[in-house]
Amino acid sequence: MTLWISGYILLLVKFGLVLGCLLFLAAYLVWAERKLLARLQIRYGPNRAGKFGLLQPIADAVKMITKEDIIPAEADQSIFLLAPTVVAATALLMFAVVPFGESLAIMGQRIPLVITDLNVGLLFIFALSSLGVYGVALGGWASNSKYSLLGGIRGAAQMISYELALGLSLVPVVMLAGSFSLVDIVNAQSGYPYILVQPVSFAVFFISAMAESKRIPFDLPEAENELGAGYHTEYSGMRFGLFFIGEYVHIQVLGALTAVFFLGGWHGPFLPPFVWLLVKMIFIALVMIWIRGTLPRLRYDQLMALGWKVLVPVSLVNIIVTGAVILMVG
């Protein structure tokens, strides 16, 4: 019984720590994005709230929470209210299987530094990311506005298409590690990170991950200059904030997943494991911001052609080649 209770307390502590870190980082990622993007466009970015605008996330949070939560008169109320939570919750839950260090030993007990080590961890992430589509599609539909509906439909089409490439790009990683568990995948990379043996997989994964998080150059579901704000046009206050949090948590999760699958996870010299994972995550997030500041938006047919005609075939060939090499080497 005491083992149960201590297990529960431990789980709650881990939940609290991970959630706190994720939300804090999400807030400051917004700040970093605004700052970096401004510099890339030769502007200053936020610089009024605190030194270097460092208090800007707090000001934004206060604004979001105190703003009126408007529901359009013709909207489908229950679905309209629920859609943002689906986006935020699926993004946050994905972090549950990401390992952030080797197991700790406290008072003779081994404490794994991961919320839960599922033996189908990788599929768990896919399941959540495929459920995340509903937040976008239903949010767009429930608003009962043409812009939102178009954004929602675009979002659903885009996310289904790129999920395929995302899944196929990770098959070689699973073949190399021999496991769906993220802990095992990280442990298998103690010698060398998989980016060295699977550069094609890495490229396909990174492109489709960016498309999944709906960022420039793949931000067609919310293309400002055609659709207002796309699927979240009608949202205000904290419900809009939840979509926003979902997006930035998603960036971190994708950073963490890229680190776990290709960059060796928490492995690294000198620094403690947790810091290594954080460094890799933030590095990838910054690269994503850099790409956002550099590339123009794709046209819709280009987006679909890239997904179906380039990324899917390339990853299929990559799977066959990897399989052949593994068979030959033994």
User: Whose Cβ is closer to other proteins: residue 151's or residue 241's?
Assistant: 151
Q: Please work out the total of residues on this chain that contact other proteins, with binding judged by CB under 8 A.
A: 31
**Residue 205 in contact with other proteins, rule: CB under 8 A:** no
C-alpha 265, offset from chain centre:
15
Q: How far is CA 3 from CA 8, 14, 113, 188, 231, in A?
A: 9, 16, 18, 30, 46
User: Whose Cβ is closer to other proteins: residue 93's or residue 288's?
Assistant: 93
By CB under 8 A, the residues from 158 to 187 that bind other proteins are 160, 163, 180
User: Per-residue b/e over 179-210, b at no fewer than 16 CB within 10 Å?
Assistant: bbbbbbbbebbeeebbbebbeebbbbbbbbbb
User: Whose Cβ is closer to other proteins: residue 156's or residue 319's?
Assistant: 156
Rounded Cα distance, 155 and 168, in Å: 20
Strand partners, 105: 110
CB of 318 to other proteins, least distance (A): 20
Residue 293: exposure state from Cβ atoms within 10 A (0-12, 13-18, ≥19)? middle
By CB under 8 A, the residues from 59 to 98 that bind other proteins are 76, 79
Place of tokens 């260090």: 101
* Interface pattern 290-329 for other proteins (x via CB under 8 A): ---------xxx--x-------------------------
CB of 152 to other proteins, least distance (A): 7
**Residue 28 in contact with other proteins, rule: CB under 8 A:** no
User: Whose Cβ is closer to other proteins: residue 56's or residue 169's?
Assistant: 169
Rounded Cα distance, 45 and 129, in Å: 32
The letter for the amino acid at 243 is F
Rounded Cα distance, 290 and 284, in Å: 10
* Interface pattern 113-142 for other proteins (x via CB under 8 A): -----xxx--xx-xx--xx-xx--xx-xx-
- List of residues contacting other proteins (CB under 8 A): 76, 79, 118-120, 123-124, 126-127, 130-131, 133-134, 137-138, 140-141, 149-150, 152-154, 156-157, 160, 163, 180, 299-301, 304
